[in-house]
């Protein structure tokens, strides 16, 4: 069972911001079919591409990091990205479970 | 998300009060929702939908909207009767599965903090102990002493409060006797049938950790049926 109270990813995000890092919060907002992490799962990414937490079983994290760093560079506040199996880039990063996920990225400012 | 909102969320989390984070996926606006409190202009059109969604204790995008909800719901309370050997393994399993565990045992030599570090142990008889614990239909009971003096009052409390999971350790014979006592105490057949006894799913193991695993497996399975 998920217990959001005990997860410390938001606290970590706050620490990163206080250490003058630019931080993007990535949250799984929708899933279809079988997917490794439930809705509400989170990871955080800074401008250097350091990350903590997860949004899948390691399948799409690299792509999410790339998108987050891009968001910081482009100074965009938020963005929604979807990973599908039928999508070529998803094959490349390998959502092997056959599921689909939507991830919402937002900068903390 | 604004840094200020993030700080507020962290503060709310530390109080362990139930709340939800609302995000408008269209414009990135974020707001904290608390049950019974009205929402700001930005979100007020979704008040009813948000409250209904929150009641289901779920995370997700509200149908036909761009509103994402992340609910912070307190973990399920699991009350263990008997600070016995099996309980030590149960505590280990159940902790990583995010249940909130309490142990009741009036026998001081079992219920020591040395045997159960970092755990709330109530060193009282169940009738007394339940006066200081808030329980509801979303609580679970695991009775492990197989001593009627200790288990029975706890089982009666759990039946009256309609706990979603009630399990009691003991052989078929022990359980038959237990059912008979509860019947004589005025509980209906349906109520008595709701007790999982002998407790646990059939794994075949007999050691304390194996029994604990079979109990926790049953508990998780019943939780998802809820």
Task: State mean pLDDT over B152-167.
Answer: 97
pLDDT tens-digit series, residues B206-222: 999 999 999 999 999 99
Number of independent structural domains in chain A: 1
Cα–Cα distance measured from residue A107 to residue A105, given in angstroms and rounded to the nearest whole number:
7
Going by C-beta distance under 8 Å and a sequence separation of 6 or more, which residues neighbour residue B198?
Answer: B168, B169, B170, B171, B172, B174, B175
**pLDDT of A6:** 76
Q: What is the 3-state secondary structure (H, E, C) of chain B?
A: CCHHHHHHHHHHHHHCCCEEEEEECCCCCEEEECCCCCCCCCCHHHHHHHHHHHHCCCCEECCCCCEEEEEECCCCEEEEECCCHHHHHHHHHHHHCCCEEEEECCCCCCCCCCCCCCCEEECCCHHHHHHHCCCCCCEEEEECCCCHHHHHHHHHHHHHCCCCEEEECCCHHHHHHHHHHHHHCCCCHHHHHCEECCCCCCCCCCCHHHHHHHHHHHHHHHHHHC
Contacts of B220 in chain A (CB under 8 A): 1
**Chain A contacts in chain B segment 70-89 (CB below 8 A):** 70-76
Q: Is residue B40 part of a domain?
A: yes
Q: Are residues B42 and B109 in the same domain?
A: no
Cα–Cα distance measured from residue B197 to residue B174, given in angstroms and rounded to the nearest whole number:
9
Q: Is residue B4 part of a domain?
A: no
Which of B6, B23, B99 lies at the smallest CB-CB distance from A13?
Answer: B6
CB contact under 8 Å between B98 and A2, yes or no, is: yes
- For residues A41 and A61, the answer to whether their CB atoms sit within 8 Å is no
CB contact under 8 Å between B2 and A109, yes or no, is: yes
CB contact under 8 Å between B98 and A6, yes or no, is: yes
Q: Is residue A102 part of a domain?
A: yes
Q: Is residue B9 part of a domain?
A: no
Task: State mean pLDDT over B74-83.
Answer: 92
Q: Are residues B85 and B65 in the same domain?
A: no
Q: Which of B5, B38, B72 corresponds to the end of one domain?
A: B72
Q: Is residue B7 part of a domain?
A: no
The residue segments making up the domain with residue A54 are 9-13+22-108
Q: Is the pLDDT of residue B151 over 70?
A: yes
Check if B13 contacts A (Cβ < 8 Å).
Answer: yes
Q: Are residues B188 and B153 in the same domain?
A: yes
**pLDDT of B162:** 96
Q: Is residue A1 part of a domain?
A: no
pLDDT tens-digit series, residues B12-64: 998 888 899 999 999 999 999 998 889 999 899 999 999 988 888 788 999 99
**pLDDT of A97:** 64
Task: State mean pLDDT over B79-88.
Answer: 96
User: In this prediction, what percent of chain B has a pLDDT beyond 90?
Assistant: 75
**pLDDT of A1:** 60
Q: Are residues B116 and B140 in the same domain?
A: yes
The residue segments making up the domain with residue B47 are 14-72
Check if B25 contacts A (Cβ < 8 Å).
Answer: yes
Q: Is residue B3 part of a domain?
A: no
Going by C-beta distance under 8 Å and a sequence separation of 6 or more, which residues neighbour residue B134?
Answer: B77
pLDDT tens string, chain A, 109 residues long: the values are 666 787 899 999 999 999 999 999 999 999 987 777 889 999 999 999 999 999 987 778 889 999 999 999 999 999 999 987 645 554 455 556 667 889 999 999 9
Neighbours of B107 (CB within 10 A): 14
Cα–Cα distance measured from residue B167 to residue B218, given in angstroms and rounded to the nearest whole number:
9
Q: Are residues B51 and B105 in the same domain?
A: no
Q: Which of B52, B72, B92 corresponds to the end of one domain?
A: B72
Higher pLDDT, B201 or B37: B201
Number of independent structural domains in chain B: 2
Q: Is residue B1 part of a domain?
A: no
**Chain B contacts in chain A segment 46-75 (CB below 8 A):** none
């Amino acid at each position: 069972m998920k217990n959001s109270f005990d997860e410390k990813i938001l606290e970590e995000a706050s620490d990163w911001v206080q250490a003058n890092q630019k931080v993007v919060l990535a949250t799984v907002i929708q899933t279809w079919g079988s997917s490794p992490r439930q809705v509400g799962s989170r990871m955080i990414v800074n401008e250097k591409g350091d990350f903590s937490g997860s949004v899948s079983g390691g399948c799409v994290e690299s792509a999410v990091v790339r998108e987050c760093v891009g968001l910081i560079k482009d100074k965009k506040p938020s963005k929604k990205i979807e990973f599908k199996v039928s999508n070529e880039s998803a094959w490349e990063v390998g959502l092997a479970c056959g599921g689909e996920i939507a991830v919402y990225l937002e900068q903390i400012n | 998300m604004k840094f200020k909102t993030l700080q507020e969320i962290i503060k709310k989390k530390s109080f362990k009060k139930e709340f939800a984070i609302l995000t408008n996926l269209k414009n990135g606006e974020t707001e904290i929702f608390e049950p019974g409190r009205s929402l700001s202009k930005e979100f007020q059109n979704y008040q009813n939908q948000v409250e209904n969604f929150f009641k289901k204790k779920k995370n997700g995008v509200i149908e036909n909207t761009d509103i994402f909800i992340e609910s912070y719901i307190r973990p399920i309370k699991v009350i263990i009767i008997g600070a016995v050997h099996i309980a030590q393994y149960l505590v280990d399993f159940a902790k990583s599965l995010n249940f909130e565990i309490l142990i009741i045992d009036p026998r001081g030599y079992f219920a020591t903090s040395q045997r159960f570090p970092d755990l709330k142990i109530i060193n009282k008889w169940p009738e007394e102990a339940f006066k200081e614990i808030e329980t509801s239909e979303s609580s679970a009971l695991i009775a492990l002493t197989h001593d009627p003096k200790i288990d029975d009052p706890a089982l009666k409390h759990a039946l009256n409060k309609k706990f979603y999971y009630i399990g009691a350790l003991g052989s078929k014979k022990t359980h038959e006797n237990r059912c008979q006592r509860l019947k004589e105490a005025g509980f209906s057949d349906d109520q008595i049938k709701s007790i999982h006894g002998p407790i646990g799913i059939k794994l075949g193991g007999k050691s304390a950790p194996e029994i604990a695993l079979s109990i926790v497996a049953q508990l998780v399975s019943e939780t998802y049926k809820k």
